[in-house]
Each structure stands twice: as C-alpha cells, then as structure tokens.
C-alpha cells in the first residue's frame, strides 16, 4: 500500500462509505494519490455476521450521541438517533440496496410545492439533466438491477405478497428493483444466493458496498494510503483561511497530523457537520465553512414507517433479498392527497431479534405477541418518502455529553413536520389496504427506526447565505474544502439516497480531478 508522508500536503478523504469510498476510487483512478482516514476498522466480508445484534455491535456507530425534539426516535432510542456503520465501507456495509433516482421536480421543490409553513425548502443548484450521466455511472458502479440491461432479481416470498397486494389495489408500478445486488454475476462479483441478512453485511459479496468494490480497486491503483481506525477530530486552516491539515486519533488514542492540500469530508450527515463545528477557530468561531450558520441545519431523515402484516399461511419473509420489492405508484407529488411530496413502498423483513426491538418499541401484551408468534406468517414493507427540511432540525454540539475522546457529542434534534405526519398516516392506510387485499389477519403500524437515511446538514445552495456548499459540493467559505456525502442534499426527495450520493461523488471527483490537474487548487 502507498505510504504518504504526514508532512506532504495530501488530498484527504474523511470516511469511506458511499460518498467517501466513491471519491477515493474515482480520484485514484484519475491518477491522484489519496489519504483516506476512516474511523472504523477494515472488516472483511468473511467476518460479517449472520446474526442481528452481534452484527450491529460489530459495526454500528455506537459513539455517544444525544437526541431531542418530538420525533418518536428520541423517546424510543434516545442514545441511538441513527443506524450508521463505523467501518471501511461505512453504512454501505449494512445498506439494503434500493436505488431509485430522484425525479426531475424533486430538484426544485421550492418552486414545485410553493412555500410550506415551517419548511426551509430550497431548489437545488443542479438539475436532473446535470445528474443524468452520473446516475448512469452510479448504477453501473452499484450494479443496480433493472437498469442498463441488468436483469431483475427473482421474487422472494415477501415480494409475492407485496406484489399481489399491489396488483389487487390497482397499483401498476411494482417490481423487484432497482436494487444494488447482483441477480447474476456482474463486475467480478457473484449473483445472489438469496441469503438474506442484507442489513448485516453480505458475506457473498453480491451486494455492492464500497468495501468490496471501490476501496479494493483504489488500493489496487497503488495510490491509496488507507488508514482505518483513524478518527478525525479537527480540520485546521492557515492564515488565509485555506484548510491546511487534519488531526486524527488512532486506535490507541494517539493524536496525528496529516498535512492537506484538499480535504473532502464524507463522515455522514451527523459526523460531517459535527466535525466542521468542532473545527472552530478564532477566524471561524462558529465552525468551519459556517458563515451562513447553516452547518448542521436542515437535517432530514425521510418520512418513514413500516407496515407488518400477519397472514394465516406461511410467508417466511426473511428469506432472500431484504428490500428487493418496490412500488412507485405513490411517489408523484399530488397536493390533493393533503401533503407535499411522495413516497415509495419497499419490501422489508427483520429477524425475530430486531422485530421484537423495532415492531413497537415499548410494546407488550397479546397484540404484540400475536405478531411475534405468527413470525413465519409475516410480510412487511417500509414506507419511505420526502420529508420537509426545517431550519431547527439540526445537529449541534452537546453542551454536556462527551464522546470517548472527551469531545462534545452531537445532539440530533428533530421535530416531525405536519407534512411528514400527514404523509405517514396516508401511507400507513394505503399499506394496510394493500395487505388486506391479500388476506392479512392483523396489521401493525411500526414507527420509524433510528435513522438510516441522514441528509441535508451541509446543504448545497446557489447562494452562499442559504447553504454550506456550492453545486460541486465545495464549501462556499473555503476553497479547498469539499463535502462528499449525503449532507450536501438540498432536499431529500422520496428516493433512498445512496444512488444519488454516489452519483454526486463521481461528479465531484471529476470536477476536483480536473481542477487539480489544471492547478486551480
């Protein structure tokens, strides 16, 4: 592996998930040496565990965090606002694989929806046109089924219930994807053996994640200096305000300094704004890149909810690809429904361990045990839609809680917007109708899990005062600082975010590589 001297001014990528892993590969492929600092360890597929809690403990981000706001997560999981992964590959190790694109108007929701009280909607500084070719590249990288000639995954049992229900209620747009897992061998990785455990890391490597594709390929270029178990705690700058180094802690707790030419932050939508806030200085007392006071604000987590249904016949919904089932009929904005934006329905299954923890946090008694007892006969789906950005939904530094390095822990504040609540209730009803249309004997409205989609805390904006980064993801305030993960999303759309995070990162890497080659940075 390449060794880059700590005094050499390097291109540094912080984080190796969807955004960071993609940056690392695209830059090294373009001939640019990169230092990647990743807080987590390099856990290989053979070490992934087919068991829910042990896998969670193996990889989830469990550093101290606190919550506030009226969202139910703050009550049910006060110390666990998110489900994110600390490992090489980031949360793509645990992701499922749903890969829809944004719709054209979802890049301009302020224009499309109009002003909505309490929402800080803003049009993106880019359009679907700007993104189209990068979406193609991202789909090819991920190997999304149903796109560019790749075949669909076979139907598993959960999908059979879901799709028949969809048909019976008159939906048209159901399919087993688009999904980021190989139906057949592709890109040097095998086709799926329908082994489930998508949320625990795919031992068979049919599922795309940056630890099985981008990182190994970047290492193979000989240009990547990958430093796992390296937790960045501060980005420093010179007198002119340019970023000049990062400080990070290794697993023994020793502090290191790596000199920087460019820094790309991709620590996910909680850690990225936290790091910028931690990087305050006398020049930037409110944190780095935060002259707009937008760092950490407009935190989005998607409108979510789940619907589980019990039947009088077996389903065994945990077998096969967890989320390879898609309904798009409800995605199109239609203000007549009483809310702005739309949502997807996607198949979802949990093992009994997670089902017990998440079905109805705090729940007990016969209604609860009837569902658990009928475990073999359950079907399930996730509801995921656009949520409203709100200025006060934000990541801040806690005044009292500290992490393992004694640094202020992030507090994640979230209040549901009335639009989110209206959409969730509407979606629950539609999901109930769907399952009743195939004979459900019991249905259960499951509230949101700790957030798996974390977006918006360093948003892209045309004007510097409205956001944190420009249309390339470059900080408005700092010329050689980029944000390369889901934090840059101006609004969240209904789509699961990862395809867009990867497409944006490929686009940003193209831009950064050409700027570096031109000597503009």
Partner 1 sequence: MKISRRLLLGSVSALTILSVLGVKPGHAHMKVGSTQSDRKLIASMVRAMFPHDRFPDGPYLRTADAIIAKANGSTASALTLRAGLADLKSKSFENLGKSAATQYLKDIEGSPFFSLVHGTTVTGLYTDKEVFRILGYEEASYDKGGYINRGFNDLNWLPEPRIEEHPDLAAFLSGKPKQYASATKLNAS
Ligand X SMILES: Cc1cc2nc3c(=O)[nH]c(=O)nc-3n(C[C@H](O)[C@H](O)[C@H](O)COP(=O)(O)OP(=O)(O)OC[C@H]3O[C@@H](n4cnc5c(N)ncnc54)[C@H](O)[C@@H]3O)c2cc1C
In the complex with partner 1, the residue whose CB is nearer, 164 or 442, is 164
Q: Which does 319 bind (CB under 5 to 8 A by kind): partner 1, ligand X, none?
A: partner 1
Q: Which helix (H) or strand (E) holds 322?
A: none
For the bound state, the minimum distance from the C-beta of residue 195 to partner 1, rounded and expressed in Å, comes to 3
Q: Residue 34 binds what, of partner 1, ligand X, none (CB under 5 to 8 Å, by partner type)?
A: none
Q: What is the largest CA-CA distance in the chain?
A: 70
297 belongs to the binding site for ligand X (CB under 6 A):
no
Joined tokens for residue 238: 């010179």
Minimum CB separation of residue 48 from partner 1 in Å reads 8
Q: Cβ(297)–Cβ(47) under 8 Å? A: no
C-beta of 85: minimal distance to ligand X in Å?
Answer: 6
Min CB(418)–partner 1 separation in Å:
5
Q: In the window 137-166, what residues touch partner 1 (CB under 8 A)?
A: 146, 152-157, 159-161, 163-164
3 state SS for 60-94: ECCCCCEEECCCHHHHHCCCCCECCECECCHHHHC
Binding mask of the shown chain, residues 310 to 349, with x at each position contacting ligand X by CB under 6 A: -------------x--------------------------
> Is residue 232 a contact point for ligand X (CB under 6 A)?
yes
DSSP labels, 230-262: -EEEEEEE-TTS-EEEEEEE-TTS-EEEEEEEE
Rg (CA), the chain: 22
Which one among 197, 344, 428, 482 touches partner 1, defined by CB under 8 A? 197
Residue 124 binds to partner 1 (criterion: CB under 8 A): no
Contacts of 146 (CB under 8 A, 6+ apart): 152, 175, 176, 177, 178, 179
By a kind-dependent CB cut-off of 5 to 8 A, residue 511 interacts, out of partner 1, ligand X, none, with none
What lies within 8 Å, CB to CB, of 173 at 6+ separation is 326, 327, 328, 329
Residue among 142, 485, 491, 504 that touches ligand X (CB under 6 A): 485
Per the structure block, which two tokens stand in for 85?
Answer: 């992964």
x/- map, 450-489, partner 1, by CB under 8 A:
----------------------------------------
DSSP string, 262-297: EEEE-SHHHHHHHHHHHT--SSSTT-TT-TTS-TT-
175 interacts with partner 1 by CB under 8 A: yes
- Told to check if 64 binds partner 1 by CB under 8 A, we report yes
- For ligand X, the closer CB: 39 or 378: 39
Residue pair 341/495 in contact (Cβ under 8 Å)? The answer is no
Residue 201 in contact with ligand X, rule: CB under 6 A: no
Contact flag: residue 331 with partner 1 (CB under 8 A): yes
Query: Which one of ligand X, partner 1, none is in contact with 125 (Cβ closer than 5 to 8 A by kind)?
Result: none
How big is the CA angle at 203 (ends 200 and 207), to the nearest 5 degrees? 80
Residues that bind ligand X (CB under 6 A): 14-20, 37-40, 83-84, 86-87, 90-92, 94-98, 199, 231-232, 266-268, 271, 275, 323, 452-453, 485-486, 496-499, 501
């Amino acid at each position: 592996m390449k060794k880059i001297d700590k005094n050499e001014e390097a291109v540094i990528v912080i984080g190796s998930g969807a955004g960071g892993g993609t940056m690392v590969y695209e830059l090294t492929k373009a001939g640019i040496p990169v230092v990647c600092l990743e807080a987590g360890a390099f856990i290989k597929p053979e070490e992934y565990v087919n068991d829910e809690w042990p896998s969670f403990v193996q990889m989830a981000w469990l550093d101290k965090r606190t919550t506030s706001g009226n969202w139910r997560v703050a009550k049910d999981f006060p110390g666990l606002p998110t489900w994110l992964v600390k490992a090489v590959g980031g949360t793509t190790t645990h992701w499922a694989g749903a890969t829809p694109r944004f719709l054209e108007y979802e890049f301009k929701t302020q224009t499309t929806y109009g002003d909505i009280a309490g929402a800080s909607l803003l049009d993106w500084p880019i359009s679907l046109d700007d993104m189209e070719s990068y979406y193609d590249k991202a789909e090819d990288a991920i190997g999304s089924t149903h796109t560019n000639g790749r075949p669909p995954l076979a139907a598993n049992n959960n999908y059979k219930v879901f799709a028949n229900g969809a048909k019976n209620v008159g939906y048209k747009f159901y399919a087993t994807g688009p999904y980021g897992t190989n139906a057949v061998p592709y890109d040097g990785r095998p086709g799926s053996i329908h082994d489930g455990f998508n949320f625990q890391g795919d031992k068979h490597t049919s599922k795309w994640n940056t630890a099985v594709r981008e990182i190994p390929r970047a290492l193979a270029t000989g240009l990547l200096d990958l430093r796992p178990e390296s937790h960045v705690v501060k980005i420093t700058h010179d007198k002119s305000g340019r970023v000049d180094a990062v400080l990070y802690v290794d697993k023994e707790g020793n502090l290191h300094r790596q000199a920087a030419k460019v820094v790309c932050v991709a620590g996910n939508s909680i850690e990225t704004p936290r790091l910028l806030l931690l990087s305050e200085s006398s020049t930037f007392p409110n944190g780095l890149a935060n002259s707009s006071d937008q760092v950490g604000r407009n935190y989005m987590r998607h409108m979510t909810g789940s619907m589980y249904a019990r039947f009088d016949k077996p389903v065994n919904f945990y077998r096969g690809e967890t989320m390879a089932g898609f309904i798009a009929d409800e995605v199109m904005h239609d203000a007549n429904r009483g809310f702005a934006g739309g949502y997807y329905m996607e198949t979802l299954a949990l093992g009994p361990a997670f089902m017990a923890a998440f079905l109805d946090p705090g729940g007990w008694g016969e209604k609860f045990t009837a569902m658990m007892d009928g475990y073999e006969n359950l079907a399930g789906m996730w509801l995921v839609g656009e949520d409203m950005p709100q200025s006060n939904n934000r990541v801040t530094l806690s005044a009292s809680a500290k992490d393992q390095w004694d640094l202020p822990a992030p507090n994640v504040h979230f209040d549901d917007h009335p639009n989110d609540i209206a959409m969730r209730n509407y979606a629950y009803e539609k999901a109930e109708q769907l399952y009743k249309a195939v004979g459900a004997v019991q249905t259960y409205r499951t509230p949101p899990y700790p957030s798996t989609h974390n977006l918006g805390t360093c948003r892209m904006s045309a004007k510097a005062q409205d956001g944190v980064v420009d249309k390339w993801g470059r900080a408005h305030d700092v010329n050689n600082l980029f944000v390369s993960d889901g934090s840059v999303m101006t609004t969240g759309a209904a789509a699961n975010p990862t395809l867009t995070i990867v497409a944006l990162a490929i686009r940003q890497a193209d831009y950064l590589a050409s700027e570096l080659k031109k000597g503009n940075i």
